[in-house]
Amino acid sequence: MAMTIRDIAREAGVSTATVSRALRGLPNVDPLTRERVRQVAERLDYVVSPAASRLASGRAGSIAVITPYIARWYFGRVLSGIEKVLQASELDLLLSSIGDPSETHHVPPHRKLRRRVDGFLVISLSTDTEGLSEIFETNLPVALIDTEREGCWSVGIDDVSGARMAVQHLINLGHERIGLISGRPLPTPFRPEENRWVGYRDALLSARLAVEPDLEACGHFTIEGGERAMTTLLARPNPPTAVFAMSDEMAFGALRSLRAHGLQPGRDVSVVGFDGHEMAEHLDLTTIVQPVEDIGARAAQSLLEAIDNPGREPKQLTLPLSMVVRGSTAFRRDRGHASTSADEAPDAHLAHRRT
């Protein structure tokens, strides 16, 4: 039971040094010796003690994933992508949820992680999030998802143009009062939120359309929040005829609110979401789809690369977006008029597809 490297060494008739080298695939070991050692280790069911190995080598043998949420759709999927890559590596995946940063939970325990990991994977958090600075100060490699930062590797999508694409689609459909269901009041600790806000604004401005506070409502990235936000918007003096929601989940809530008000998505109010959630198809929601799991996987690969090659110049990766047009968006029509549901937009210059 108490198998140590010494037992293997004795059994194989070599020194512990050779066992160590043989088992780890280091050079300068006779192939025959290596094989013999392997067999002995196998037979005795030996696995190295990570603690001892880490202490001696100075490597932590694990990476930490810092995420604001675990249970939410987007984060779960990203995490899944990360895990798949890490599974194949030698590194352990330490999961650390930071809790909703805007709620100033307990102090994030990044302190504890200090001597414990070889690198960090941070999801969606603005680089100036409180508590994140400790991570950058470690000088360990960091891979950022959905953000960028000098000296860090990063993977993400172009949130600005994604949002612009969504809003432009609505503009092309003839909408002029286009609402926004955002996350929470700025400043937000989430980078994508800021960027989607910029994209929304850009699109409106370059079409010389109004950007009014009255067209915005916070949905806190939840279904319920999205529903409340839509309800709020509908209650405004001059409600929007179309809405861009920063996430599909909020869009789901918006759709629900519309139905509750006797309005039909698409026909009465157009809605675009963001993410590519599976349910979007089922709810007939037009959305900007991002390769979520891939984002996680690529980020993990980046981090592994950074750990293996310290000092290597970090790369930033931007993954492609696409739009899926469904029934929740349609040409603007005056309320009350009858018309067929014409939902093919004249914006063929944008990347999009139908399903």
List residues binding DNA (CB under 7 A): 2-6, 13-18, 20-21, 23-24, 27-34, 46, 48-49, 52-53, 55-58
Q: Which does 69 bind (CB under 5 to 8 A by kind): its own copies, DNA, none?
A: its own copies
Report the nearest approach of DNA to the CB of residue 132 (Å): 24
Distance (Å, whole) CA 252 – CA 256: 6
Dist CA 30 CA 22 (whole Å): 9
Binding-site ranges for its own copies (CB under 8 A):
47-52, 54-55, 60, 62, 69-72, 75-77, 79-80, 83-84, 87-88, 92-97, 106, 109, 111-112, 114-116, 223-224, 252-253, 256, 278-279, 282, 293
Work out how close the CB of 26 gets to DNA at its nearest, in angstroms, rounded to a whole number: 7
Backbone dihedral angles phi then psi of residue 183, each to the nearest 5 degrees: -80, -75
- Cα 54 to chain centroid distance, Å, stands at 30
Q: Name which of its own copies, DNA, none residue 87 binds, using a CB cut-off of 5 to 8 Å depending on partner kind.
A: its own copies
**Minimum distance between the CB of residue 56 and its own copies, rounded to whole angstroms?**
8
Report the residue number, 27 or 58, with the smaller CB distance to its own copies.
58
Residues 6+ apart with CB under 8 A from 190: 68, 124, 125, 126, 146, 183
**CB-wise, 69 or 136, nearer to its own copies?**
69
- Which residue in the block uniquely carries the two structure tokens 């603007």? 332
Instruction: Give the C-alpha distances (Å, rounded to integers) separating 56 from 53, 84, 117, 142, 173.
Output: 5, 28, 15, 24, 64
Closer residue to DNA in complex, CB, 5/254: 5
Total number of residues shown for the chain: 355
Rounded to a whole number of angstroms, the CA Rg of the chain reads: 26
Quote the least distance from Cβ 11 to DNA, whole Å. 12
Which of 245, 241, 192 minimizes the C-alpha distance to 217? Answer: 245
The entry of its own copies, DNA, none near residue 13 (CB within 5 to 8 angstroms by kind) is DNA
How far apart are alpha carbons 156 and 280 in whole angstroms? 21
What are residue 269's DSSP bridge partners? 265
206 binds, among its own copies, DNA, none (CB under 5 to 8 A by kind): none
What is the smallest separation between the CB atom of 142 and DNA, expressed in angstroms? 22
**Residue 24 touches which member of its own copies, DNA, none, C-beta under 5-8 Å by kind:** DNA
CB of 234 to its own copies, least distance (A): 17
Is 92 or 268 the residue whose CB approaches its own copies more closely?
A: 92
CA distance 293 to 78: 5
Q: Decide whether 114 or 201 has the Cβ nearer to its own copies.
A: 114
Q: How far is residue 15's CA from residue 297's CA, in Å, rounded to a whole number?
A: 39
Q: Report the DSSP pairing between strands 62-67 and 270-275.
A: unpaired
For residues 341 and 285, the answer to whether their CB atoms sit within 8 Å is no
The nearer residue to DNA, 36 or 184, going by C-beta atoms, is: 36
| Min separation Cβ 27 and DNA, Å | 6
The residue among 112 and 335 lying less far from its own copies, judged by its C-beta, is 112
